[in-house]
Structure 1
Amino acid sequence: MSNSALSRLSELAQVFCKLGVIGFGGPVAHIAMIEDEAVKRRQWLTREHFLDLIGATNLIPGPNSTEMAIHVGYIYAGWLGLIVAGVSFILPAVLITGFFAWIYVNYGTLPQVSPVLYGIKPVVLAVVINALWGLGKKAVKTRKLLLIAVAVVILLLVLKLNEVIALLIGGLLGMIWLRSGDKNTPPSQQAHLIIASLTTGATLKATVASAAAATSNLANVPLWQLGWFFLKIGSVLFGGGFVLIAFLQGELVGEYGWLTQQQLLDAIAIGQFTPGPVLSTATFIGYVIAGIPGAIISTAGIFLPSFIFTALLNPLVPRLRASKWTSAFLDAVNVSAVALMVVVTLQLAVATLSLPKAPYLDFLAVAIATIAAVLAIRFRINAAWLVLGGAVVGAIAALLGYGR
Structure 2
Amino acid sequence: MTDTDEAVASVSATFATAPSFAETVRVFGKIGLLSFGGPAGQIALMHRVLVDEKRWLDEPRFLHALNYCMLLPGPEAMQLATYAGWLLHGVKGGLAAGLLFVLPGAAVITLLSAVYLLVGDVPLVQGLLFGLKAAVLAVVLEALIKVSKRALKNAFMVALAIAAFIAIAFLKLPFPLIIAAAAACGALLHFLGYGAKSGDGAAVAEPARDMPEWTKPSARRFASTLAVWLVIWFGPLFVLHATLGGGNVFAAEATFFSKMAAVTFGGAYAVLAYVAQQAVEVHGWLKPDEMLTGLGLAETTPGPLILVLVFVGFLGGARLSGLAPIAGGLAGAAVTLWFTFVPCFLWIFVGAPYVETVRNVRWLASALSAVTAAVVGIIANLAVWFALHVLFASVGERVLGPLSLPVPDWPSFDAASALIAIAASFALIRYNANMIVVLAAAALAGMAVQLIR
Q: Tell me if structure 1 keeps the 8 A contact 2:249–2:316.
A: no
Structure 1 position 165 matched with structure 2 position 181: no
Q: Tell me if structure 2 keeps the 8 A contact 1:321–1:330.
A: no
Q: What do you get for the CA RMSD once the two structures are aligned?
A: 4.1
Query: Which one is further off, 82-91 or 116-125?
Result: 116-125
- Give CA-to-partner distance per residue, 1:332-391, whole Å, 9 cap, x none: 111101110011112222332357676775444343333322322343221100000001
| Deviation, structure 1 residue 327 | 1.5
Structure 1 position 85 matched with structure 2 position 101: yes
Letter in 1 for 2:365: S
Partner of residue 138, structure 1:
150
Aligned mates of 1:333, 1:72 — CA distance in 2: 17
Structure 1 position 94 matched with structure 2 position 110: yes
- Give CA-to-partner distance per residue, 1:21-47, whole Å, 9 cap, x none: xxxxxxxxxxx6332354279745899
Q: Tell me if structure 2 keeps the 8 A contact 1:33–1:383.
A: no
SS of alignment partner, residue 322 of structure 1: coil
- Note closer, same or farther for the CA distance 1:354–1:243 as it changes in structure 2 (3 Å cut): closer
Partner of residue 52, structure 1:
67
Match of 2:309 among 246, 261, 279: 279
Structure 1 position 345 matched with structure 2 position 345: no
Aligned mates of 1:303, 1:172 — CA distance in 2: 32
- Note closer, same or farther for the CA distance 1:380–1:234 as it changes in structure 2 (3 Å cut): same
Q: Tell me if structure 1 keeps the 8 A contact 2:79–2:344.
A: yes
Match of 1:35 among 16, 40, 46: 40
Superposed, 1:191-270 pairs within 5 Å as 221=244, 228-237=251-260, 238=263, 239-240=271-272, 242-243=274-275, 246=278, 264-265=285-286
Q: Tell me if structure 2 keeps the 8 A contact 1:119–1:395.
A: yes
- Give CA-to-partner distance per residue, 1:70-99, whole Å, 9 cap, x none: 225435654312101111222222122234
SS of alignment partner, residue 136 of structure 2: helix
Q: TM-score, normalised by structure 1?
A: 0.67
- Give CA-to-partner distance per residue, 1:87-124, whole Å, 9 cap, x none: 122222212223455x49xxxx8445332233223322
Aligned mates of 1:110, 1:162 — CA distance in 2: 36
Aligned mates of 2:133, 2:411 — CA distance in 1: 19
| Deviation, structure 1 residue 135 | 1.4
| Deviation, structure 1 residue 49 | 6.8
- Note closer, same or farther for the CA distance 1:114–1:39 as it changes in structure 2 (3 Å cut): same
Aligned mates of 1:121, 1:146 — CA distance in 2: 29
Aligned mates of 2:290, 2:413 — CA distance in 1: 27
Q: Tell me if structure 1 keeps the 8 A contact 2:129–2:446.
A: yes
Q: Tell me if structure 1 keeps the 8 A contact 2:167–2:178.
A: yes
SS of alignment partner, residue 134 of structure 2: helix
Letter in 2 for 1:232: T
Q: Tell me if structure 1 keeps the 8 A contact 2:280–2:286.
A: no
Task: Number of aligned residue pairs: give it.
Answer: 333
**What is the percent sequence identity of the aligned residues?**
17
Q: Tell me if structure 2 keeps the 8 A contact 1:368–1:390.
A: yes
Partner of residue 369, structure 1:
421
Unaligned runs of 5+ in 2: 1-19, 52-58, 86-92, 196-232, 264-270, 299-306, 395-408
Letter in 2 for 1:92: V
Aligned mates of 2:317, 2:190 — CA distance in 1: 47
Aligned mates of 2:99, 2:151 — CA distance in 1: 29
Structure 1 position 327 matched with structure 2 position 362: no
Partner of residue 398, structure 1:
450
Unaligned runs of 5+ in 1: 20-31, 184-206, 253-260
Q: Tell me if structure 2 keeps the 8 A contact 1:70–1:85.
A: yes
Aligned mates of 1:158, 1:304 — CA distance in 2: 33
Q: Tell me if structure 1 keeps the 8 A contact 2:136–2:292.
A: no
